[in-house]
Amino acid sequence: MNTNPLHLESGAAHPVAKPHRVGLKDIADELGISQTAVSFAINDRPGVSEETKRRVKEAASKLGWSPVYAAQALGSSKTMTVGFAPARSSNGLRDEGFMLHFMTGLHESLSLKGYGLLYRPCSSVREELSVYEDWARRKRVDGVILVDLRADDPRPALLARLGVPAVLAGGPDPENIVPSLSIDDSGAMETILRHLVSCGHRRIAYLSGDRTLDYSRDRERMFREFAKRRDLESIRVEYTNFSVDIASAMTLAMLCGSNPPTAFIYENETLAAASLHAITEWLLNTPSKNPDAPRYPHNLPAIVSFEDSFLCVSIYPSLTSVHRDPSVYGMKVAKLLIKVINGETVSGTRRILTPKLVIRDSTRLSCV
């Protein structure tokens, strides 16, 4: 009996040689320089000339070299990972088109720099805080992206204490602990109201999401200031906690009350679409006392959504909506975080992406 463990019986497959992985030594041998110089050039560290860096990177591309993640992380003390742990309801995360496209933009910018996105949705701010503490303890991420700034928000101070770089999509942070990029929400509200007033509406309701969110407070503040300046007949502000059932019920209750609103503004497209469906059913099932009154869809109230998506153009009537490109927003936020991680100086607060109002049938058909 042949006891040689390497013996192969006749006809058995031969072991397949593993392909050679190009390493720093191969690049060094190709150029006739040290591995240390190659490592410095690959990682853009001081100690080698710009010409050497150029030659090393060209040789690396020619030879098909790619970084080994574990070695790169050990060598640079970076994880090459960015954390995103938004505290939102499961419905909000599942139904909102804005968040999906925002995350697409984050990934696009991060991947260009070799970063991955660690997505960890949370059910509460308390859970979100515990996630950050866990990430910091395990050195799991290089930085964090925050969304949905709240009143007396504890997250920026915690991340600063933990030493975790962070940026805020929204804000600005009133304590100026983390830099931010924000969208002009109060300006968007004023644009909506100017359009509705130009259509003849003077009784307007705003069905918001969460009263603790910074952007919701900005929108409400502008709503009340505009109503006072223009002496609107009546206004209503209600909070729905992003529930489509609550929004629909509130809408019908107001329409059935005395002096009902002729126009409604909703925090997002799912609240607006669900409420439009409820209004349509109510109108079609309620016989008009006036046979000469305009019929559906001309007797609908005006409807505006603060978010724009395919849903706004795929239903009837199509929804007038505030349009901003969430993927571009995500790309800019990610670029800002990478600068912070790299120790670059950044301005504390910047306002970007002035939204545009896209006028569709839901306000065209309801001019009074």
Rounded distance between C-alpha atoms, residue 100 and residue 105, angstroms: 9
CATH number of 24-66: 1.10.260.40
Do domains 24-66 and 81-183+326-355 share one topology? The answer is no
Instruction: Assess whether the previous peptide bond of 326 is cis (omega < 30° from 0).
Output: no
b/e per residue 112-141 (b: at least 16 CB within 10 A) = eeebebbebbbeeeeebbebbeebbeeebb
pLDDT in tens, 139-166: 999 999 999 999 899 999 999 999 999 9
Angle between helices 35-42 and 24-31 (to 10 degrees): 110
Q: What's the mean per-residue pLDDT of the chain?
A: 86
pLDDT at residue 270 tops 50: yes
Query: Which DSSP string corresponds to 199-226?
Result: TT--EEEEEES-TTBHHHHHHHHHHHHH
> Which residues are CB-neighbours of 352 under 8 A, at least 6 positions away?
181, 182, 183, 329, 332
Q: pLDDT confidence of 354, banded at 50, 70, 90?
A: confident
| pTM of the predicted structure, to 2 decimals | 0.74
pLDDT at residue 5 tops 50: no
The domains of the chain are located at 24-66, 81-183+326-355, 185-323+357-364
Rounded distance between C-alpha atoms, residue 25 and residue 171, angstroms: 48
The predicted structure's pLDDT at residue 285: 83
pLDDT in tens, 300-342: 899 999 999 899 999 999 999 999 888 999 999 999 999 999 8
The predicted structure's pLDDT at residue 124: 92
The CATH number of 185-323+357-364 is which of 3.40.50.1100, 3.40.50.720, 3.40.50.2300, 3.30.420.40?
3.40.50.2300
Choose from 58-62, 72-76, 157-161 the range with maximum mean pLDDT. 157-161
The predicted structure's pLDDT at residue 349: 66
Residue 52, judged by CB atoms within 10 A of its CB (0-12, 13-18, 19+), counts as middle
b/e per residue 244-253 (b: at least 16 CB within 10 A) = bebbbebbbe
pLDDT in tens, 121-133: 999 999 999 999 9
- Please state, for a pLDDT cut of 90, what percent of the chain lies above it: 55
81-183+326-355, CATH topology level: Rossmann fold (3.40.50)
Going from the C-alpha of 231 to that of each of 105, 188, 234, 264, 266, the distances in angstroms are: 41, 19, 9, 17, 21
